[in-house]
Structure 1
Amino acid sequence: MERQYKDTQYYKFCFYGFLKNLKFFEPFFILFLLEKSLSFTQIALLYSVREIIIYLTEIPTGIIADALGRKRTMVFSFGFYIISFILFYFSTNFGFLLFAMVFFAFGDSFRTGTHKAMIFEYLNIKSWQSQKVSYYGGTRSCSQVGSAISSLIAAALVFFTKNYDIIFLVSIIPFLLDILLIISYPKELDGDSVSFKFTDIVTTFKKIIKGLVENLKQKENLKI
């Protein structure tokens, strides 16, 4: 990709991906759960609950993102993540861990696809649609670098502290930085947003649902 496309916002997108993948707990999560005296059945149940919540809330959270704005949605997402990290750190039993996993699942659900939409929105604003593959690919490569470094840092933390819990507290730091980074994004990347008034949100939801129904009807007519 040519240098002219690598503006300040491009590096913000890259830094977001790097920070987002600094999940220091990931390499040791199973060991962390085993240390909490969970059985493999209970561990499987935790993962199942996470996936079920993500599946059931995928569309509702998408509607919320469209109604409240992408930046707010991303802040909510990282807020859920941070709450889950705190709960994991203080967890003492399966019920506590299940509660933490619910918050983590909502974090995933709110985040999925939202940031990608912001990147593509930025490309549309700048009329750089032809750079979509290389631009997005560049941000993804930074995410992979974050994953690699995350594993090394996590290994060092566990080695020197002999403690799995600490990795959840340390994971809060990059996610707080990501919140600040998202807040610094241009307002136009927020999409069509509304105030937090209940009536405004309901009105926006109705418009989105109406548009969805109309699109489905058009697809059915094309099939016929």
Structure 2
Amino acid sequence: MIRILLADDQALLRSTFRMLIDSCDDMTVVAEAANGEEAAELTQAHRPDLVLMDIRMPVVDGLVATRRICATPELPHTRVLILTTFETDEYVAHALEAGASGFLGKDVTADALLAGIRTVVGGEALLSPAATRALIGRYLSGTGTTGASPTGSLASLTDRERELTALAAHGLSNQEIAERLFVSPLTVRTHIHRAMMKIGARDRAQLIVAAYQQGLVRVR
């Protein structure tokens, strides 16, 4: 069962998300927060698998709350999925630097949101097309900051690991990479995981950030 915490200052949206999530057999909402301060505190108390986090909230915003959650040693398995109407390069960059594993616009469909939750909890990064464009533009232009990004060098990766990291950075899922390279999704997942471990990436999103920052992926 995927345990989820909802963080949004709009009660109506939280209620809508709760009804959608609780209608699934493999998900449940364990807590709700109306601001970032509550989100960080309730995450500590409930230790959910995933926090569905808005960015613009009172008291403490979602970016600060995400940074607090992802920097807490007692929460190594909690993932943050940003869900917001603001998909600018600044928000996307800061969200990923704070440790977020996914980023979706609030115009996402119900099915896409549920699939996104499963994707992030499963260990993959999730970026909407708009968020991906913003991230690529920021990091490949050299304007991204390092923040909480991995400090290890991609030079430590094998050729195969670098190849798969580049494909992941271009937005391909494990299944899509497997189909392109004629290998199994498990093989792809293993190589990606090894690459993450070598450079000290918390998750796939940080691996992708490193690929942009260190020049593995370039504008085509």
TM-score normalised by structure 1 residue count:
0.26
Select the structure that is richer in strand.
Answer: 2
TM-score normalised by structure 2 residue count:
0.26
Select the structure that is richer in helix.
Answer: 1
Higher relative contact order (CA 8 A, sep 6+): 1
